[in-house]
Structure 1
Amino acid sequence: MKIDARQVGRALKDAGHWRAILLYGEDSGLIRERAAQAVRCVAETLDDPFRVAQLDRETHDRLEEEATALSLIGGRRVVWVREGGDALLNAVTRLLNAASDTLVVLEAPGLTSRSKLRAFAEKHKDVASIACYPEEGRALAQTVTDALSRENITIDRDAMAWLHTRLSADRAGVRGEIEKLALLAGSGGRLDIETVQDCVGDAGGTSLDDAAHAAMAGDVAGVDQALERAFADGAAPVAVARVVLALINKVLRVALAEEEGQTRSEAIKGLRPPIFFKRMPAFTRAVERWPIDALALAAERTQALELACKQSGMPDVVLCKRHLASLCRGGQAWLRGISR
């Protein structure tokens, strides 16, 4: 049965209702998190060898054996399968026709829309088919807020806005940052913009911000170094596009404020969240290099980059590098059409 995005929480909370749960999509961190939630719901733990059998690609052939085995200590068993694919379709079909109460949790991040296993799971009444794609916008902000609320931690609006531009597209990366912030704030604590910047300042998002600021300031060498660090830390190309677009919008806000009569210093100080002090020279240089018309064009093409990065089969890393290299040429070059 295909589970609607709004019903995923309920489906996982009642994981024991299903015979099998299929988790697929682009966010491997979210797939792992939801798989663990389902396993824990039924087996009450992730590492009990009598109730939880974990199978990787090399041990997929043991799926039926493990799924039909009895627990030596009682309780319902779970078979947790990693790196699942269409090759498991026949085994899963036979298991669902057999008399067994074992829950099978399948992690299958590589499944396409034409997958036979996915099509089968979406139609079978005893199988939950759950898509796991990177969260964006309000959904991502809500995930952070909910996780902090469970620890009775509040976060200022400016801090949330700044954090949103730094989080990677992968759920594992998001979860790691949330855990660091929760540990720093402590139960019942409060997170302001300075605290969040200090805590997240050394994360992979730093490299993304460095790359974006270097590109807008015309620092070719800085772009190359920052992008290499970001991708080495596991940053997703789509996250590069988001960080660059957020920076372009900030530079545009300053340019528009100057046009309305504010001084550059006043306009920059009025930005929320504020510019990190270590990046102020690069940001100021970006404001100097980019006129309003060029910024609008750069924002449009950066949005197009994000859409391209979300399409399967696109050389997203190459597209990111080429786009940031074109930004290094500066606004006047864009207006003359050099970046085309």
Structure 2
Amino acid sequence: MKVEPRQAARFLAELASARHPARVLLLHGDDPGLIRERAEAAVAGMLGPDRHDPFRLAVLERSGHERLEEEATAGSLIGGRRAVWVRDGNDALLGAVTRSLASGSDTLIVIEAPELPSRAKLRSALEANPAAAVLACYHEEGRALEASIATALAEAGVEIDRDALAFLADRLGSDRAAMRQEIAKLVLYAGPQRERLGLAALEALSGDAADLSLDDAAHAAMEGDLALADRAVERALAEGASPVALLRVLLAHLHRLRAARAAMAQDGLSAADAVKGLRPPVFFRRAPGVTKAVSLWPAAALDAAAARSSAVERDCKRSAMPDTALVREHFARLARESMRLSGRPSAGRR
């Protein structure tokens, strides 16, 4: 069966029941952080306090895929249902999964498959099987992203002002792992009294890094500030951000620019009015730069930039070339292209 993303929370809560028909959960999509989060929720929901007990949980990395059927059909030595958590899933698992389902075992199989293509046999087979569930995990944007941030804070007992929420969503982009890390910091800041978070507090927490972040790298590149883009990339990498995280934030920003360009074409809006119409709203301090980027970049060029960014992400995962070098060069190329579009000299190649 196919589970709609909007039903994910309810589905994961119901999955823990022994009477639930699904005994396999396949998680796929372009957000590895969200895939991992939902896999953890599925396992924890079923096993509860025993979720780290090796007698009830088997975690299989790619090198252990051949043990899937054995683990899925094994009984628990201490009673209770077992779970098998498989990472880096692919089509090679289809035979073992099919046989495990046919065995009648009540073991729950949770498969993380962030690299699974849309036409994968594993995905189509499980979508057609009533004893399996397939849940797509894509990057959240707009109101969905704001809602997730607000919900995560609310679960920790922390409230946040609306303008502060917009600021946070704009800075975090759509990277789920980064969002969770930032929320953990904010909960610590709020303290045991769970003080309400306002815009001033978030700006203060950003400190000197407010001018140099993953988000800043994306904005600077698309606005043609080569020096700032370079410094922001270096700072983000030095602070532990992954090259793929930088690319994900860039892709989210490109999506916003493309949406504004589409509004200009469809509704005859100016760049400034198109940016004002974006949802969630662009943080007011970002608006002039975003308007500049929308004015500079034609729709076709934005489409090409997004395609190149996706290709660089694939290369980071597969190429022998260092991923940090690939990302530095990509951001620099975008900044130089922005400078060319604005009519300024690009200072040559690095």
Q: TM-score range by the shorter chain?
A: 0.7 to 0.9
Which of these residues, 70, 75, 80, is aligned with residue 70 of structure 1? 75
SS of 1:53's equivalent? Answer: strand
How far did residue 295 of structure 1 move? Answer: 5.3
Which of these residues, 122, 126, 141, is aligned with residue 121 of structure 1? 126
1:27 aligns with 2:31: yes
SS of 1:50's equivalent? Answer: coil
Residue 280 of structure 1: aligned partner: none
- Residues 23 and 35 in structure 1, CA contact (< 8 A), matched pair in contact too: yes
Residue 232 of structure 2: aligned partner: 226
Measured in 2, the distance between the counterparts of 1:68 and 1:203 equals 51
How far did residue 72 of structure 1 move? Answer: 1.6
Residue 91 of structure 2: aligned partner: 86
Residue 211 of structure 1: aligned partner: 217
Residue 7 of structure 1: aligned partner: 7
How far did residue 174 of structure 1 move? Answer: 1.0
Measured in 1, the distance between the counterparts of 2:292 and 2:282 equals 23
- Residues 88 and 113 in structure 2, CA contact (< 8 A), matched pair in contact too: yes
SS of 2:297's equivalent? Answer: helix
1:190 partner amino acid: R
1:297 aligns with 2:303: no
Deviation per residue, 1:113-153 (Å, 9 max, x gap): 11010011110001010111111111100000111112232
SS of 2:3's equivalent? Answer: coil
Q: Where does structure 1 lack aligned partners over 5 or more consecutive residues?
A: 250-254, 258-270, 277-282, 335-340
Measured in 1, the distance between the counterparts of 2:309 and 2:227 equals 27
1:326 partner amino acid: E
How far did residue 312 of structure 1 move? Answer: 6.6
SS of 2:2's equivalent? Answer: coil
Give the structure-1-normalised TM-score: 0.76
- Residues 241 and 320 in structure 1, CA contact (< 8 A), matched pair in contact too: no
- Residues 237 and 320 in structure 1, CA contact (< 8 A), matched pair in contact too: no
1:20 partner amino acid: V
| Paired positions, count | 305
Residue 308 of structure 1: aligned partner: 307
- Residues 12 and 42 in structure 2, CA contact (< 8 A), matched pair in contact too: yes
Residue 175 of structure 2: aligned partner: 170
Deviation per residue, 1:283-305 (Å, 9 max, x gap): 9xx88xx9x88852337577536
1:325 aligns with 2:336: yes
SS of 2:84's equivalent? Answer: strand
Q: How does 1:185-200 map to 2 (within 5 A)?
A: 185-186=190-191, 187-200=193-206
How far did residue 273 of structure 1 move? Answer: 4.4
Moved more, 302-311 or 54-63: 302-311
How far did residue 108 of structure 1 move? Answer: 1.0
Q: How does 1:145-184 map to 2 (within 5 A)?
A: 145-184=150-189
Measured in 1, the distance between the counterparts of 2:210 and 2:24 equals 35
How far did residue 236 of structure 1 move? Answer: 3.6
Larger radius of gyration: 1
Deviation per residue, 1:314-335 (Å, 9 max, x gap): 879565442222224574549x
How far did residue 3 of structure 1 move? Answer: 0.7
Measured in 2, the distance between the counterparts of 1:293 and 1:199 equals 27
Give the structure-2-normalised TM-score: 0.74
2:296 partner amino acid: L
Q: Given the superposition, is the C-alpha separation of residues 73 and 138 from structure 1 closer, same or farther in structure 2, using an over 3 Å criterion?
A: same
Measured in 2, the distance between the counterparts of 1:49 and 1:204 equals 43
Q: CA RMSD in A?
A: 3.6
- Residues 127 and 133 in structure 2, CA contact (< 8 A), matched pair in contact too: yes
